[in-house]
Structure 1
Amino acid sequence: MTTRSALAARAGELLGPRHTTYVVALVTPAGDEADAVGTDPHGDVELGSVSKGVTGLLWRDAVARGEVSEDAALGAHLAVPPALAGIRLSALATHTSGLSRLAPGTHPVRRTWELWREGRNPYREDLPELLRRLDDVKVRTTSKPAYSNLGFQLLGHAVASAAGTSYADLVAQRLAAPLGLTDTYVATSADRLRPGAVAPRNRSGTEVEAWANEAVAPAGGVRSSAADLAVLLRALLDRSVAGADALDPVAPFMGRLQIGAAWLTGPLLRRTVTWHNGGTGGFRSFVGIDREHGVGVALVSACSRSVDGAAARLLAEAGDA
């Protein structure tokens, strides 16, 4: 029987018995750790909306490369209807674009029912179909933040288009390759999942469909592993990751939170933490760094029960050590 590391054991205590398969990474000034339960440290899991943080990094990197201007409009890089063409990429990155949470015609009630009853992936359209649905989009005029998966889908595909490639290849070329992230990738369809892919499970433990899809990838389709997440956390902390200024707050978000390019910064258990969390049909995720204390935590469970509290505790305990 494999002996759990102290890190994996502590994560298990905080998560509780419903979480039987999870990956965890911890970085501190003393070093980096990565472990997994129910898989191995290289088993890849769905990051869910932590993918938005990846897209934020890629956008800021594209600005630094001169591929998109600081005030670039969406229509300059993606074929969208006139009503959307003038939306700034910066507004997409801070959830202030006025776009709805989902694309028109998504039928959230039906898809939610299919997800919970049948375990189906609710994001089944490819990129051309997503773009076709934009004809009916309505843009709100308010500047108040409104969380939008659609906004980040369009942001990621616009940045990829500006680079002359696909979003999946952009992740591979500009995030995974430079950092040596061998387990980090975008599965654009279920048949492109790698052999080490961890199966997603809902709250009752039933296996459900993976969220492997081209269109949703920039908002929720990046996969990674415990080993890779440790490397990414270190790169976020020392700002060696491309587009690191995505972490820096530029606008108020909600409550006491501020937002950079997707990444949220605010108080968490008496710490100031920069973070993003996520959820899919069968995973919950959290990636966060406490820059003042030089610590970071990533926790992803193959279960649709929140991991946020456990991850926050791990981060606070690491900062207190």
Structure 2
Amino acid sequence: MPSLPLPARSSTVVALVTTAALSIGIHTAPGPSQLPEDAHGGRELTDLVLEIAGEDHRALAAAVVTPEGRHTTVIGTDHDSRFEAGSITKGITGLLLADAIDRGEVTADTRVGTLLDQLEGTPAGEATLAELATHTSGLPPQIPSRRQYLLNLWASWTGSFPYPSSTEDRLAEVAELAADSEPGTYSNVAFEVLGAALGEVAGQDYPELARDRVLDPVGLADAHIPTSPAELDRRDLLGEDASGRTVAAWAGESMAPAGGLRIHADDLAVLLSALLDGTAPGMDALEPRGELGPDRIGWAWITTETEDGRQVVWHNGHTSGFAAFLGVDREAGTGVALVSATGQWVDAAGWELLARSGEL
């Protein structure tokens, strides 16, 4: 069995992303749901996922791609149910940045203030697109305002969505920031700004840009990035927090580039294949450009060297009601994605699934 990093290592870099920001409180619900027995997919993968991830989830979806083919399973919900992918969306935004550079629209060193008038002449406006994409811009994890604190507090008590700002309002808040966080501070705000800047250059809002330049070219027919609950349909699951309480969907305009993607198991397999065979637009985003804790980072995508010397490119995600992990070993031609409709980290299970993918 190939040796992979301890799951704690894969989590520490991206921990404090949204869960810590939300300060999810203690609730009176009895605990997370238990998976029902119904499943859609191959028996071998279903059994492996249940063994690795356990049954304390409202629903699970997994995709595994190897040189021998694709495997998917969905447990506890319909096969076409869409799960929140959380910060895996940042990987899509990274692909968009690399694609915009390939098109000659921007460079890595383009200052964000030259693209967004609201930030011209501000500390945030001095940041380059590369700094936004590698968490070295000085922007904080979230807006450090009284309003955001109260939204987080209300979300912890009610399960509401804590990031309802418009892009325009978010940029107005960013314009007031000192942008003095330590380099390497994992920043949702930076990716909100990056998505807004790339959209401004293209003359599209972020969901349209992602659809036209990444989702459609890759073949992610059903994946989408809603900016309001009105854009959800029967395929879009509501998740549970760790206490078992159903929470609101994460669907907002400003946070879309940082955590808005919804996707089902088949499209996860398609995305893995495109990352493995290099057909996804903006593949240069996966190439490491700097350090992020013990690992390296490209445009959003993190590269971890395993104990046996393999290079795994990955990202994880976490919202109030969902957790996700996606990783690819491009040299081996193997990739996995695991998404839970319960807000408990699945990194450990994702790394183990990658290590044991050869069993399928």
> TM-score category by the smaller chain?
over 0.9
Kindly tell me the number of residue pairs found equivalent between the two proteins: 319
1:127 aligned residue (161, 167, 191): 167
Q: Could you say what secondary structure the match of 2:299 adopts?
A: coil
Once residues 55 and 307 of structure 2 are traced to their aligned partners in structure 1, the CA distance between those partners, rounded to angstroms, is 23
Q: Could you say what secondary structure the match of 2:175 adopts?
A: helix
Partner of 1:28: 66
269 and 13 in structure 1: CA distance in 2 versus 1, 3 angstrom threshold: farther
Q: Gapped runs of 5+ residues in structure 1?
A: none
Partner of 1:95: 135
Is the aligned partner of 1:264 residue 2:306?
no
Partner of 2:258: 219
Which segment is superposed worse, 78-87 or 216-225? 78-87
For 1:67-106, what aligned pairs fall within 5 Å after superposition?
Answer: 67-81=105-119, 82-83=121-122, 84-105=124-145
Partner of 2:78: 40
1:236 aligned residue (256, 259, 275): 275
> Shift in Å at residue 128 of structure 1?
1.3
Q: TM-score, normalised by structure 2?
A: 0.84
Partner of 2:57: 19
Which segment is superposed worse, 267-276 or 61-70? 267-276
> Shift in Å at residue 69 of structure 1?
2.2
Q: Contact 1:43 / 1:183 at 8 angstroms: preserved in 2? A: no
Q: Gapped runs of 5+ residues in structure 2?
A: 1-36
Structure 1 runs of 4+ with >4 Å offset = 1-4, 106-109, 268-271
86 and 221 in structure 1: CA distance in 2 versus 1, 3 angstrom threshold: same
Once residues 70 and 209 of structure 1 are traced to their aligned partners in structure 2, the CA distance between those partners, rounded to angstroms, is 36
Is the aligned partner of 1:313 residue 2:352?
yes
Is the aligned partner of 1:209 residue 2:225?
no
Which segment is superposed worse, 213-222 or 178-187? 178-187
Q: Could you say what secondary structure the match of 1:136 adopts?
A: coil
Once residues 311 and 269 of structure 1 are traced to their aligned partners in structure 2, the CA distance between those partners, rounded to angstroms, is 16
> In structure 2, what residue type is equivalent to 1:165?
Q
Once residues 351 and 164 of structure 2 are traced to their aligned partners in structure 1, the CA distance between those partners, rounded to angstroms, is 33
Q: Could you say what secondary structure the match of 2:193 adopts?
A: helix
Once residues 98 and 52 of structure 1 are traced to their aligned partners in structure 2, the CA distance between those partners, rounded to angstroms, is 17
For 1:245-256, what aligned pairs fall within 5 Å after superposition?
Answer: 245-255=284-294
Q: CA RMSD in A?
A: 1.8
Identity of aligned residues (%): 39
Q: Contact 2:39 / 2:77 at 8 angstroms: preserved in 1? A: no
Once residues 116 and 269 of structure 1 are traced to their aligned partners in structure 2, the CA distance between those partners, rounded to angstroms, is 38
> In structure 2, what residue type is equivalent to 1:206?
R
Once residues 159 and 203 of structure 1 are traced to their aligned partners in structure 2, the CA distance between those partners, rounded to angstroms, is 35
Partner of 2:92: 54
For 1:92-241, what aligned pairs fall within 5 Å after superposition?
Answer: 92-105=132-145, 107=147, 109-140=149-180, 144-241=183-280
161 and 10 in structure 1: CA distance in 2 versus 1, 3 angstrom threshold: same
Which segment is superposed worse, 181-190 or 102-111? 102-111
> In structure 1, what residue type is equivalent to 2:75?
V
Encode CA deviations 1:237-266: one digit per residue, 9 max, x unaligned: 1110000011111111102x0000010001
Q: Could you say what secondary structure the match of 2:118 adopts?
A: coil
Once residues 72 and 250 of structure 1 are traced to their aligned partners in structure 2, the CA distance between those partners, rounded to angstroms, is 16
Once residues 144 and 118 of structure 2 are traced to their aligned partners in structure 1, the CA distance between those partners, rounded to angstroms, is 13
Once residues 39 and 84 of structure 2 are traced to their aligned partners in structure 1, the CA distance between those partners, rounded to angstroms, is 25
> Shift in Å at residue 96 of structure 1?
0.4
